[in-house]
Structure 1
């Protein structure tokens, strides 16, 4: 490991537990970044100064890249620490158009030329961005709150019995949606929702605590290895 200069994480949110274990095992502080096919790499933690990297954050816009957060009412909340909004990106890194799909292209860009990523994030007082997840599957609207499935997943991965986890919102007449989680367990362990709830109450707010639990042998993933959240939701249908 002495010759290892840099390790990076991308494609999916890096759990805080993995961030810490990797540093302990290798001495490397993982560099986490944010990008997608349409924009290349847009946000990044400090590439030169590892001590400035924060677990759970994807950092700041790269040179010549602009980023902003737009809330559900269309208000720019970029400079309101902790406020959530859809991440929009502008810069020379952004693609020009979807080939042969002018209507889709027009839908994914604002009138002033910002690309709408479809991801929801927040920004702290230091200007660092945090990904809450895809608006379509990772934002759970429960009892008037907008909850980040990724945030809850990061906490659940700290449970000593949980090997892997997927959090989704499922319909509820009373709450709009409730938090549900599917998990795989470490060998020779068990877990019930009655055991999980009090463990969560000590670490996260009660309204973020899963109300439904499924223990499975394997979580569904697509060809890229990403969680298939639609398939996870179907487990609770």
Structure 2
């Protein structure tokens, strides 16, 4: 029997077993909102300080800067790591600043289909830069919502991922972020939680960075209250 012919029979058999299974008592939905509502608020440090500490514990580099100074901080990051080509998305809140700041030879827009762009993407791009939806202080994680302007490839392929984060986007927990930003009403097709650079310990239980993603994560944290 060919695979194509066997597939409908296998599916029918699975559904038949499911229909024949005995009824089970429904499981009560946990009171997630109540759990977070009754948690004691962290003390001893600000949310920004807590995020920075946790992000750095995952080997992310956090550079605290301002809305006016972050382009200069970006220049320093690119020069220190000898980044020759930086990949960015058009139509983002940082696109105009990047275009005005970086020479055309150093800035590459992600404006080509992936199929035709792969050789350059994997062979000639040193870093990718993205905006962020916010971050979670509890875990030091960035929140990214990839879209047509900023595909998820921008944060997953290059050896270096640079993320621009506003302090106003910091939330204490992921639950707080989901509620505060109204995720239920506008869930994206893909949401990313980035906690440090890419790492794995699958090979001989040795922790290796950059095996299947960026080996470095640099976060430009734009503090609130600073002049734009």
Determine which structure has more spread, i.e. the larger CA radius of gyration: 2
For normalisation by structure 1, the TM-score amounts to 0.27
Please state which structure has a larger fraction of its residues in helix.
Answer: 2
TM-score (norm 2): 0.28
The structure in which a higher percent of residues are strand is: 1
